[in-house]
Structure 1
Amino acid sequence: MAIAMDIGTRYARIARIGHDGAPELAALPGSVPGEGLPLQTGAGSHRSASLRTAYTAYCAHIGAPDRVVLVVPQEGRADYARRAVDTLTAAHDADRAPEIRALSTPHAVLALLRHTGTVTAGRYTVCDLGATAAEVSVCALTGASVAVVAGGRYAPPDGYGAGFDAALLAGAGLPDDEQAHRALAAVRAEDGAGLRLELAVGRAERDPERYDDPVHQVSGREITAGVVRRALGRLTAGADRALDDAVGGTSAPPVIAAGGMARLRPLERHLAARQGAVVALPTGTDPALAAVFGAALVAAGRIDPGDRYPHAVCVATHRTVGGEPHSEELVITPAGALEPGGPTVFAEHAGHRVRVRPGVGASRPVRVRVRDTDGRATAPVSILTVPGGSPGDRFHVGVRIDADGTARLVLHPVGSGTPAEFPLGTLPTDLKGARS
Structure 2
Amino acid sequence: MSAIAIDIGSGYARIARVGAHGAPELVELPGAVPGEGLPVPAGEDGRRDAALRAACSAYVGQHGVPDRLVIVAPPRDRSGPPGHGADASAGLHGTGCRMPPPSFLSTPHAVLALLRHAGTATAGRHVVCDLGAAAAEVSVCVVTAGAVAVAGSARHAPADGYGAGFEAALLAEAGLPCDEAGRRVLAGLRGEDGAALRLDLALDRAERNPERYDATAVHRVAGRAITAGTVRLALRRLAAGLDLATAEALDDAAPAPAEEASPAEEAARAAVGGLVAVGGTARFAPLLRHLTGGGWPLVPLPAGTDPALAAVYGAALVAAGLADPADRYPYAVCVGAHRTVAGRPENQELLVCGAGLLEPGGAAVFAEAGGKRLRVRTGPAGTGAGRPVEVRVRDPEGAVSVPVRTLALPGGAEDDRFHLGVRLAVDGTARLVLRPLDAGAPAEFPLGELPTDLRTDPKGVRL
How far does residue 36 in structure 1 lie from its aligned partner after superposition? 0.8
Structure 1 counterpart of 2:243: 240
How far does residue 375 in structure 1 lie from its aligned partner after superposition? 6.0
Compared CA separation, residues 252 and 246, structure 1 to 2 (3 A): farther
Q: Aligned residue pairs: how many?
A: 431
**Residue 298 of structure 2 corresponds to residue 278 of structure 1:** yes
Q: Which moved more, 1:330-339 or 1:383-392?
A: 383-392
How far does residue 215 in structure 1 lie from its aligned partner after superposition? 2.9
Q: State how far apart, in whole Å, the 1-side matches of 2:423 and 2:187 are.
A: 44
Q: Which moved more, 1:23-32 or 1:417-426?
A: 417-426
Secondary structure of the equivalent of 1:27?
coil
**Residue 21 of structure 2 corresponds to residue 20 of structure 1:** yes
Within 5 Å, give how 1:35-434 maps onto structure 2: 35-42=36-43, 46-72=47-73, 77-81=74-78, 83-84=79-80, 89=85, 92-93=88-89, 97-189=99-191, 193-206=195-208, 208=210, 209-218=212-221, 221-248=224-251, 252-361=272-381, 362-364=384-386, 365-374=388-397, 376-432=399-455, 433=458, 434=460
Within 5 Å, give how 1:23-34 maps onto structure 2: 23-34=24-35
How far does residue 46 in structure 1 lie from its aligned partner after superposition? 3.3
The sequence identity of aligned pairs, in percent, is: 58
Q: State how far apart, in whole Å, the 1-side matches of 2:11 and 2:111 are.
A: 20
Compared CA separation, residues 306 and 18, structure 1 to 2 (3 A): same
How far does residue 378 in structure 1 lie from its aligned partner after superposition? 1.9
Secondary structure of the equivalent of 2:154?
strand
Contact 2:352 2:422 in 1 (8 A): yes
Contact 2:49 2:81 in 1 (8 A): no
Contact 1:52 1:87 in 2 (8 A): no
Secondary structure of the equivalent of 1:93?
helix
Q: Structure 1 counterpart of 2:37, which letter?
A: G
Secondary structure of the equivalent of 1:398?
strand
Compared CA separation, residues 84 and 200, structure 1 to 2 (3 A): farther
Compared CA separation, residues 281 and 98, structure 1 to 2 (3 A): same
Q: State how far apart, in whole Å, the 1-side matches of 2:305 and 2:196 are.
A: 15
Contact 1:184 1:218 in 2 (8 A): no
How far does residue 207 in structure 1 lie from its aligned partner after superposition? 5.3
Q: State how far apart, in whole Å, the 2-side matches of 1:59 and 1:336 are.
A: 35
Q: Structure 2 counterpart of 1:92, which letter?
A: A
Q: State how far apart, in whole Å, the 2-side matches of 1:44 and 1:227 are.
A: 33
Compared CA separation, residues 93 and 217, structure 1 to 2 (3 A): farther
Q: State how far apart, in whole Å, the 2-side matches of 1:90 and 1:51 are.
A: 18
In structure 1, list runs of 5 or more residues that go unmatched: none
Contact 1:180 1:219 in 2 (8 A): no
Q: State how far apart, in whole Å, the 2-side matches of 1:379 and 1:94 are.
A: 47
Q: State how far apart, in whole Å, the 1-side matches of 2:21 and 2:298 are.
A: 28
Secondary structure of the equivalent of 1:409?
strand
Q: Structure 2 counterpart of 1:413, which letter?
A: P
How far does residue 179 in structure 1 lie from its aligned partner after superposition? 4.1
Q: Structure 1 counterpart of 2:172, which letter?
A: A
**TM-score between the two structures when normalised by the length of structure 2:** 0.85
How far does residue 219 in structure 1 lie from its aligned partner after superposition? 5.7
How far does residue 218 in structure 1 lie from its aligned partner after superposition? 4.2
Q: Structure 2 counterpart of 1:108, which letter?
A: A
The root-mean-square deviation of aligned C-alpha atoms, in Å, is 2.6
Contact 2:41 2:50 in 1 (8 A): no
Secondary structure of the equivalent of 2:349?
strand
Secondary structure of the equivalent of 1:410?
strand
**TM-score between the two structures when normalised by the length of structure 1:** 0.90
Structure 1 counterpart of 2:257: none
Compared CA separation, residues 91 and 40, structure 1 to 2 (3 A): farther
Q: State how far apart, in whole Å, the 1-side matches of 2:144 and 2:271 are.
A: 21
Q: State how far apart, in whole Å, the 1-side matches of 2:225 and 2:144 are.
A: 49
Contact 1:15 1:26 in 2 (8 A): yes
Q: Structure 1 counterpart of 2:122, which letter?
A: T
Q: Which moved more, 1:313-322 or 1:89-98?
A: 89-98
Q: Structure 1 counterpart of 2:71, which letter?
A: L
Residues 194-245 of structure 1: per-residue CA shift (max 9 Å, x gap)? 4443344334335543433333344664322221111111111111112222
Compared CA separation, residues 93 and 193, structure 1 to 2 (3 A): farther
Residues 350-391 of structure 1: per-residue CA shift (max 9 Å, x gap)? 111111123221322432211112363222222333222221
How far does residue 187 in structure 1 lie from its aligned partner after superposition? 4.1
How far does residue 44 in structure 1 lie from its aligned partner after superposition? 9.4
Q: Which moved more, 1:202-211 or 1:311-320?
A: 202-211
Residues 283-316 of structure 1: per-residue CA shift (max 9 Å, x gap)? 1111111111111111111111111100101112
